[in-house]
Chains A and B, each alone.
Chain A
Amino acid sequence: MAKELLKGNNAIAEAAVRAGVEAYFGYPITPQTELLEHMAVRMPELGRAFVQAESEVAAINMVYGAACTGKRVMTTSSSPGISLMMEGLSYIAGTEVPVVLVDVMRGGPGLGNIAPSQGDYHQIVHGGGHGDYRPIVLAPASVQEAIDMTAEAFDLAEKYRALVVVLGDGSIGQMMEPAELPPMQPLKTDVPEWAVTGAKGRERRLLTSIYLEPEKEEKVNIRLLERWMQIKKEEVRYKEYYLDDAEYVVIGFGTAGRVALSAVRAARAEGIKVGLFRPISLNPFPTKQIKRLADFAQSLLVVEMNSGQMLDDVALAVQGRVPLEFYGRMGGVVPFPDEILAEIRRLATVPPAETNGLVRERWLERLAIYNAGDINVNHN
């Protein structure tokens, strides 16, 4: 297949269609609505199920029901809609049925706005629903990655009977760039041994997340956790750029990671030995790999489009062994490469004063100066 100019939302939808998704249930919300619209055309014309639900609450429960039959199913939404789905996500995790969810994040909290954000890191990665469960979370930084990860998400979901989230943002969903779609896959024909399909010639099956006896519920929790340990072992993904001789390392995922890469390249052109580490699986988090960065880097800079939600996971990984700085934009603001470049220059010239938990305080001070328009801070 040749590369085409594709819009992120449409590309994700088409990737799911080609991966053999048999049912899509969703609700309109900007900036992911084109995804639903693409499905509204493609699914019926292929004789597959499409329902525009009355709410995200209903959409995720339609997904839950359809997933119980063992078919490939998905839903998509954006931040406030994902909040509404949390109930269903917890039930899906507790029932151990495979589901693919795409979150095209927007600014928040509350109604926020429709601009790109990474504010859902906590609610997705650390789980916004009740109980002990951990979804697999993949963060694309381009339309191509969004396509590839969507297709792969179905395989991962089925392999681990787990919830897999493709965590993009408004810019991934809305931008157009050249990308290649995978070929059309035939629909899955095998029926999992746990699926409810009618008790014909076999014992009846029950899919539930209720275990009234705490000891039985604990056993389920242990099973989920053991499966998670296996996922942690086998499914960590990340990308490294210019790390071979790096003295400083920027860490960012998704769009923030991509903007940071431009800044890293610009800094390299200036002779600063800086590299980029881009986590792709936010869950399981590349903790070990980030820990290793502390072995050679003089300092690390975490860049996010939130107030430092992944920063906490990075801090846990490096355990105070290396100075850590943070730069984030929030509320739907996307950082410019120049802003991150200025931060990289700071790393290279001004050694971080301390690493004792004042990372956010220092960042907020710099952000205030930046927002006050002191261009010397960021464009010297």
Chain B
Amino acid sequence: MSTIIDPNIVYERPEALADTVTHYCPGCTHGTAHRLVAEVLDEMGLLENTIGVASVGCSVFSYNYFNCDFVEAPHGRAPAMATGIKRVMPEHTVFTYQGDGDLVSIGMAEVMHTAARGENVTVIFVNNAIYGMTGGQMAPTTLPGMRTTSSPLGRDVETTGFPIRMAEIIATLDGVGYAVRRSLHDAANVRKSKKALRLAFEAQQRGLGFSMVELLSSCPTNWGITPTESLTFIKDHMIPAYPLGDFKVAEPLKGLKV
């Protein structure tokens, strides 16, 4: 961020956000999530000591969009890579950026144990209830009845089971300092998401253990509806299935003004 405050500038690109065109589809909320993370890194002055871990899925190229050092993990293994980095670089800020296919399906073991060990890393978990990169297949987070290319008649819970609520599950583990769910469907919730991301990185800074922010996100392309309808879909269908809330907030974070 510029140190000279220009009263004419009310909005600018965060220093942590690379000045480049992204590959995300129009209306996708990944861009919003990226910007919020970048703003937090700027505000906390963390950019120069941060190492990000990208995952597999639409967020695979997230490493191109942040101006910090990055590595790119195998599918689901970002929390394990983050563990390895943090253990040898304990003074550095380490975060992963993962989608729901990556984190809830193939990477379930890695994220659970990273949280259980209380690794001082931050996980940004973007939940859009679908596999985006591979073209819209059913994820463990897909809503019952939701049509995807691998559940063409709608997700049948009799044969494919039920959505998994990660923020709640993670919050049950003693190694966790911060586990919340937020949504990116409107301005008010975007602001709340930003605050949550800030607290997650504050938790890491303070050595309070594993921190995770689950962000309910849209995927207009694979949901097959417009960007605006997608935001409404989050509000009307995602939030009832994935209630927003603080599931674990370590004591030192509670009174923190951010």
User: Which A residues touch B68, using CB under 8 A?
Assistant: 198-199, 204
User: What 1/0 flags go to B40-75 for Cβ under 8 Å of A?
Assistant: 000000011111011000001001101111111110
- Is A22 in contact with B88, judged by CB distance below 8 angstroms? yes
- Is B69 in contact with A55, judged by CB distance below 8 angstroms? no
- Is A65 in contact with B117, judged by CB distance below 8 angstroms? no
Which of the candidate stretches A56-64, A137-145, A155-163, A229-237 sits at the interface with the other chain?
A56-64
User: Which B residues touch A313, using CB under 8 A?
Assistant: none
- Is B81 in contact with A65, judged by CB distance below 8 angstroms? yes
- Asked whether any CB of chain B lies closer than 8 Å to the CB of A247, the reply is no
Given contacts A57-B77, A69-B89, contact A198 B84 (CB under 8 A): no
- Is B80 in contact with A58, judged by CB distance below 8 angstroms? yes
Give the size range of A's interface with the partner.
35 or more
- Is B69 in contact with A23, judged by CB distance below 8 angstroms? no
Given contacts A198-B50, A208-B72, A209-B72, contact A62 B81 (CB under 8 A): yes
User: Which B residues touch A63, using CB under 8 A?
Assistant: 84
Q: Whole-angstrom distance from the CB of B55 to the nearest CB of chain A?
A: 11
- Is B69 in contact with A49, judged by CB distance below 8 angstroms? no
CB-based nearest A residue for B83: A62
A324 to B238, CA, bound (A): 68
- Asked whether any CB of chain A lies closer than 8 Å to the CB of B110, the reply is yes
Contact among B53, B69, B80 with A197 in the assembled complex (CB-CB below 8 Å): B69
Q: Whole-angstrom distance from the CB of B83 to the nearest CB of chain A?
A: 5
User: Which B residues touch A66, using CB under 8 A?
Assistant: 84-85, 87-88
User: Which B residues touch A219, using CB under 8 A?
Assistant: none
Give the size range of B's interface with the partner.
35 or more
A58 to B68, CA, bound (A): 24
User: Which B residues touch A23, using CB under 8 A?
Assistant: 84, 87-88
Q: Whole-angstrom distance from the CB of A151 to the nearest CB of chain B?
A: 20
Q: Whole-angstrom distance from the CB of A88 to the nearest CB of chain B?
A: 7
Given contacts A23-B88, A199-B48, A210-B60, contact A61 B69 (CB under 8 A): no
User: What 1/0 flags go to A199-224 for Cβ under 8 Å of B?
Assistant: 11100111111100000000000000
User: Which B residues touch A207, using CB under 8 A?
Assistant: 70-72
- Is B88 in contact with A73, judged by CB distance below 8 angstroms? yes
How many contacts between A and B, using CB within 8 angstroms? 130
- Is B113 in contact with A208, judged by CB distance below 8 angstroms? no
User: Which B residues touch A209, using CB under 8 A?
Assistant: 72
A208 to B64, CA, bound (A): 11
- Is A65 in contact with B80, judged by CB distance below 8 angstroms? yes
Q: Whole-angstrom distance from the CB of A192 to the nearest CB of chain B?
A: 13
User: Which B residues touch A62, using CB under 8 A?
Assistant: 80-81, 83-84, 87
- Is B63 in contact with A206, judged by CB distance below 8 angstroms? yes
- Asked whether any CB of chain B lies closer than 8 Å to the CB of A51, the reply is yes
- Is B83 in contact with A55, judged by CB distance below 8 angstroms? no
- Asked whether any CB of chain A lies closer than 8 Å to the CB of B165, the reply is no
- Asked whether any CB of chain B lies closer than 8 Å to the CB of A91, the reply is yes
User: What 1/0 flags go to A54-87 for Cβ under 8 Å of B?
Assistant: 1101110111111111010100000000000001
- Is B81 in contact with A61, judged by CB distance below 8 angstroms? yes
- Asked whether any CB of chain B lies closer than 8 Å to the CB of A196, the reply is yes
Q: Whole-angstrom distance from the CB of B111 to the nearest CB of chain A?
A: 10
- Is B84 in contact with A55, judged by CB distance below 8 angstroms? no
- Is A88 in contact with B77, judged by CB distance below 8 angstroms? yes
A65 to B95, CA, bound (A): 12
- Is B71 in contact with A68, judged by CB distance below 8 angstroms? yes
User: Which A residues touch B244, using CB under 8 A?
Assistant: none
Q: Whole-angstrom distance from the CB of A158 to the nearest CB of chain B?
A: 15
- Asked whether any CB of chain B lies closer than 8 Å to the CB of A53, the reply is yes
Q: Whole-angstrom distance from the CB of A23 to the nearest CB of chain B?
A: 5
User: Which A residues touch B195, using CB under 8 A?
Assistant: none
Given contacts A57-B77, A198-B69, A207-B72, contact A69 B88 (CB under 8 A): yes
- Asked whether any CB of chain B lies closer than 8 Å to the CB of A25, the reply is yes
CB-based nearest A residue for B119: A51
Binding site for A on B (CB under 8 A): 47-51, 53-54, 60, 63-64, 66-74, 77, 80-85, 87-89, 92, 109-110, 112-113, 117
20 sampled A-B residue pairs with Cβ under 8 A: A23-B84, A49-B88, A57-B110, A58-B77, A58-B110, A61-B73, A62-B87, A65-B82, A67-B84, A68-B71, A196-B51, A196-B71, A196-B85, A197-B51, A198-B48, A199-B48, A206-B64, A206-B71, A208-B70, A208-B72
Besides the known contacts A66-B85, A91-B73, A208-B54, 10 further A-B residue pairs in the complex with CB atoms under 8 A apart:
A25-B83, A51-B83, A58-B113, A197-B51, A197-B69, A199-B67, A199-B68, A205-B70, A207-B70, A208-B71
